Chain A
Amino acid sequence: MLHDISLEVAEGEYVSLVGPSGSGKTTLLSLVGGLDHPQSGEIRVGGHDLRALSGDGLAAFRRETVGFVFQHFGLLEALTAKENVELALTLAGVSNAVQRHHRATHLLERVGLANRLDHRPPELSGGERQRVAIARAIANSPRVILADEPTGDLDDATAADVGDLLEQLRAEEGCTLVVVTHHRQLAARAERSLALGAGELVEARGALG
């Protein structure tokens, strides 16, 4: 349960959110990403007042403004890597199949999976799946990327690669990046780190050493 949470993230800022299990990090991320509604209070993301959105409006917000990266990767196992990325474009209304193909291929090449386009998630490693998820998250050039424990299921080396990738893409796309993580090294990469405990949010420090 979160209460009395006040958070402000500047456009383009890289913020990490740390805290013990059950502290509400994922809940806070869900509220920011429009996956859930607060019982009270106000949430504004990218100029959108989330309280005023519902149904299709909320779906549009999630489609156009936010990109999600989940701990469990969140890929559709029936689709290939390329098709998972294309799905985000499809939902955004990109009807031209060639256009989707080019964009998805470019993104997957960008995340280093040029030779894994037609593989389904069960055929990919954990790190590769997360790269596909990241490519999908930035497919519609969102203003905010929300990553919930993106390295939670990865080993240290792979986690470091994923962390590098997130940073690079944030810099290239110019978007805001909020990462919920247990990983000290990942949290330390952020420009600002916030700690969530007992339902309250406190500033950790400028950067974790």
Chain B
Amino acid sequence: MNWRDAVTLAGREIRRRPARAALTVLAVALAAALLCALLAIAGTARTRVLSQLSHGGSLAGISVEPNAPNPAQATLDDPAPGLPRPLTEAAVTQISRLQDVLMVLPIVVAPVELLPPATPPAGSTLCPPTAVGSSTRSCGQGQDPGSAATVTPVLTTSAIGANLGQVNALPITLLAGRLPIAGSGAEVAVDEQYLASLGLTSSHASEVIGTRVELVTFVPATGLATTTRYQTAEIVGVLDEEMTSGDIVAWPKLIETLYSSETPPGQGTAPIDGAIVIAKQLSQVSPVRAAIAAIGYSTAAPVGLILSVGRYLHVVELVLSGIGIVALAIAALGIANALFAAVRERRREIGVLKAIGARDRDVLRVFLLEAGMLGALGGLFGTVLGMGMAAGIAANANAYLHSQGLSGVALSVPWPLPLGAVLGSCIVALVAGALPARRAARLPAREAVDA
């Protein structure tokens, strides 16, 4: 009997007892769903926790500062910096050529003042209260908070420029909206400090999306006049972290424009305030840091913390896997029980099979395939169910996180997980079905005629 015919016969036998098969498949499905959901949630939590440690950037990210290294604290994740030392283009190039460096993202800055928007979002403390003693604030149509009084800047800060196309490498996490499009000179992302300057909390982050922020720089006098430069930009995103260098993030093009406007001509480009260096692997972060220190710059990277936390998370994943495997083992007992019952019920049928010429291994093959098919079906349904459960849990978690003004989690399921769940269920079922299948194969042909 070839495999195809054995599969057909096994499938028919399964369909002959649909209720029993359905219950067996359900047991496997629930176990597989539990395993998938637990591992998916554990994996997502791991990604989120480690991402928080790296502030949303690459785990192998290194922050290079315009300071000399502090030899006494070289091995620390976040050492105290040494004396200031400008980070030049040549130094950035030198760093990018280091072995084990995947990429270098320079960060440029320009000082800027921010004026409040002409129409602040509802709820901002820049808007008058809707009534005496009211906690609700509303800016009416066309009402400019600066129209009745002197308008003061809400923030005197720096604008930070970086290649936002490498967002996964940058230590930033979106709280709302998106990052400015490539090369844009008219879009910015702000941080929570900007929200605070408008009297808004993180939970109101989406309120500022689409509003305009006024960027003011002061052009130095080269002749007769000093000049004030005004430019508006659209806020397209709000970032989760408060960046120490500044509160506005944009593409370098905008930063260069701001910097050049407030610098005498010929004074060069916006200074490099730091750089994000991505090592090729987490294990190469320490050697790369040492190499950058040798060049003469201080670095910070949470690699020690990441590795330590990663170990603990791995233990959690092992425990959760164990729980899921126990569930699968229980389901496997169900398969074994069902097959033993089937062997008892089909003694005469097995005898007839042998009487008409089936070999022992043909009978073994049919019963093993029955077990495998039950396991595969259960694994398939369980994987889909488990992914759905994980997605539901993630959705609930995100709703809570957003209500607390925090960025949400992205459910990340490594592709081997669903595949592994189906295969694993299949293998467990085969193991469970081995004994009953062996018993069936050893039944004598005489069973065909025995009473």
Contacts and interface: CB of A to CB of B under 8 A. Distances in A.
Question: When A and B assemble into the complex, do they touch directly, with CB atoms less than 8 Å apart?
Answer: yes
A37 to B, nearest CB: 9
A63 B348 contact: no
A62 B349 contact: no
B222 interface: no
B13 interface: yes
Interface residues of B, number: 26
B449 A91 contact: no
A128 interface: no
A157 interface: no
B39 to A, nearest CB: 37
Contacts of B352: 68, 70, 74-76
Contacts of A56: 359
B359 A35 contact: no
Interface in A81-134: 83, 87-88, 90-92, 95
A64 B449 contact: no
A143 interface: no
A74 B355 contact: yes
A88 to B, nearest CB: 5
Contacts of B9: 76, 78-79, 87
Interface stretch (B92-100, B309-317, B327-335, B440-448): B440-448
Contacts of A90: 1-2, 5
Contacts of A63: 356-357
Interface in B330-356: 348-349, 351-356
Nearest to A87: B356
B2 A95 contact: yes
Given A34-B445, A70-B449, A78-B16, A55 B359 contact: yes
B359 A74 contact: no
A36 B444 contact: yes
Nearest to B351: A35
B338 to A, nearest CB: 16
A177 interface: no
Given A36-B444, A90-B1, A29 B449 contact: yes
B362 interface: yes
B229 interface: no
B11 to A, nearest CB: 9
Nearest to B447: A35
A141 interface: no
A148 B448 CA distance: 11
Interface in B345-383: 348-349, 351-360, 362
Interface in A15-61: 26, 29-30, 33-36, 55-56, 58-60
Contacts of B85: none
8 contacts: A35-B448, A60-B357, A62-B445, A63-B356, A79-B12, A88-B356, A91-B1, A91-B356
Interface of B: 1-2, 5, 9, 12-13, 15-16, 348-349, 351-360, 362, 444-446, 448-449
Report the 6 A-B pairs with minimum CB-CB distance, sorted nearest first: A63-B357, A78-B12, A74-B352, A91-B357, A35-B445, A78-B16
Interface of A: 26, 29-30, 33-36, 55-56, 58-60, 62-64, 68, 70, 72, 74-79, 83, 87-88, 90-92, 95, 136, 140, 148
Given A74-B349, A90-B5, A91-B1, 4 more contacts: A64-B357, A78-B12, A136-B356, A148-B449
